[in-house]
Amino acid sequence: MGKRYLPFFPLKLVAFPGEQLNLHIFEPRYKQLINECVNEQKTFGIPVFEEGMKEFGAEMEVMDVVKRYPAGEMDISTRCIGTFQVFTFDEKAPGKLYAGGQIESIESFYDAEHEQWSALKVLAKELISILKMEEKLDVELISSSFELAHKLGLSLEQEYDMLQMTRESQRQHYMINHLERALPLIREMEGAKNRIKMNGHFQHHDPLNF
């Protein structure tokens, strides 16, 4: 695919392909960046920022400027169209207020098998059941590991791990491992919460036969 130059809008978040992201734009450098993207039909990059710029990020297109404010601030709707690896970083792109750098797009392969996706959904449903969130989240309406990762509240570090993976089968395997490790701990935490709630209540205990 080759390297190309992309304007940067570093943020402390991970955007996954297909995801829509609403942003409020108020800094002069990002007002300049977004206006250029709108006027010239350009895309921009969100490299992940956590204690410094990380090596991977998401390429975004501006879908709509939802609202413009008198001082030039904007509410915008964006969509992630792919992921990339960062090779160079300029605090200011040549002649611009905003940052930029050389990137290379990462190709993604959707190679997961039905059995693996079904196993992941079973674990996700168990987590949702333990947390009593069935009314807020229907796993059957989710179609990819990217969407599921956001819905299940993975950490920024875990989402960043998934952003770098090129295959859907890798991402699903990663989430299955995460849930298999996390579920016993979450069950124990929920059990502890229920035991704490019972403290102070009058409890009926059947006599024990020895």
Q: Residue 76: its pLDDT value, please? A: 97
Q: Average pLDDT of 80-99?
A: 97
Q: Is the pLDDT of residue 119 over 80?
A: yes
Confidence at 135, pLDDT banded by 50, 70, 90: confident
pLDDT at 185 over 80: yes
Q: Which among 2, 1, 4 has a CA at the least distance from the CA of 102? A: 4
HEC letters along 22-77: EEEECCHHHHHHHHHHHHHCCCEEEEEECCCEEEEEEEEEEEEEEEECCCCCEEEE
- Mean of pLDDT values over 81-109: 96
Q: Which pLDDT band holds residue 201 (cuts at 50, 70, 90)?
A: low
pLDDT at 133: 86
CB 17 within 8 A of CB 82: yes
pLDDT tens column, 56-78: 999 999 999 999 999 999 999 99
Q: So what's the pLDDT on residue 195?
A: 75
- Calculate the CA 129 to chain-centre distance: 22
pLDDT at 210 over 60: no
Q: Domain segments of the chain: what residues?
A: 3-106, 114-198
Can you tell me the distance from the alpha carbon of 137 to that of 93, in angstroms, rounded to the nearest whole number? 42
Tell me: pLDDT of 81 over 60: yes
CATH no. for 3-106: 2.30.130.40
Given this model, what pLDDT does residue 199 score? Answer: 62
The neighbour count for residue 147, using CB atoms within 10 Å, is 14
- Three-state DSSP at 8 gives strand
The DSSP bridge partners found for residue 199 are none
Q: Residue 206 pLDDT more than 80? A: no
- Residue 198 pLDDT class (50, 70, 90 cuts): low
**Residues with Cβ < 8 Å from 42, sequence gap 6 or more?**
7, 36
What are the tokens at 185?
A: 């701990």
Q: Please state, rounded to an integer, the average pLDDT across all residues of the chain.
A: 91
| pLDDT for 134 | 85
Q: What is the mean pLDDT of residues 146-173?
A: 94
pLDDT in tens, 4-29: 999 999 999 999 999 999 999 999 99
pLDDT at 1 over 90: no
